[in-house]
Amino acid sequence: MDSVAAIVYKIKNTLIHIEKFIAAASLLLLLLLSLSQVILRNLFELGFSNIDVITRHLVLFVTFMGAALISETNQHIKIDCINSLLSYRIRRRLRRPLLLISAIVSAAFCVYSIQFWLEEQQYAPANEQLALWLALILPAGFFILGLHLFLLFLLPTETHPPAESD
């Protein structure tokens, strides 16, 4: 069991490093493109429509990478009010089934976003090919998020209770 956990931790750490790089590079590129578009429009009365398409999709890149990274530390937004009413012992027992359900839902979103992308590919005009390829972040993002949740499901549960603010 220790070797499986070691492999899972190594996969998680590699994913985290890749996602941090993608999120940081996407955010930097988003800022640079937005700034350059504002300067081009205000100073030179010039602009590129593809920059707007790229920046819209870069927001998705940052969002998905951030969601995957934040799920690692269990600091994501929780919309369940019942969780705060449960004891630590019950929350600990529910942790793994809920992680598995979340991973399955993310996998389903991944499958449906692939189907959506394939349908969009059939009907996308030539001038929207860039947006089409950038839209691959949807299935990739759901896959990465689902993979993180599944890896968290495979790891042993935490041994100490969370802080009072949790």
Q: Burial level of 160, CB count in 10 A (0-12/13-18/19+)?
A: exposed
| In a domain? residue 161 | no
- Residue 165 scores a pLDDT above 60: no
Residues 112, 146: Cα–Cα separation, whole Å: 13
| In a domain? residue 81 | yes
Residues above pLDDT 90, as percent of the chain: 45
Residue 94's pLDDT band (boundaries 50, 70, 90)?
Answer: confident
Q: What pLDDT, on the 0 to 100 scale, is given for residue 78?
A: 65
Two tokens at 151? Answer: 């890896």
Can you tell me the mean pLDDT for 48-67?
90
Can you tell me the mean pLDDT for 57-71?
90
Q: What pLDDT, on the 0 to 100 scale, is given for residue 158?
A: 58
| In a domain? residue 165 | no
Nearest to 51 by CA among 69, 36, 70, 67: 36
Residue 59's pLDDT band (boundaries 50, 70, 90)?
Answer: very high
Nearest to 60 by CA among 134, 147, 145, 143: 134
Span 103-161, pLDDT tens digits: 999 999 999 999 999 999 998 888 888 889 999 999 999 999 999 889 888 887 654 44
- Residue 16 scores a pLDDT above 60: yes
| In a domain? residue 162 | no
| In a domain? residue 164 | no
Q: Does residue 37 or residue 81 have the better pLDDT?
A: 37
| In a domain? residue 16 | yes
Nearest to 106 by CA among 59, 62, 153: 153
Question: How many domains is the chain partitioned into structurally?
Answer: 1
| Domain boundaries, position 69 | 2-154
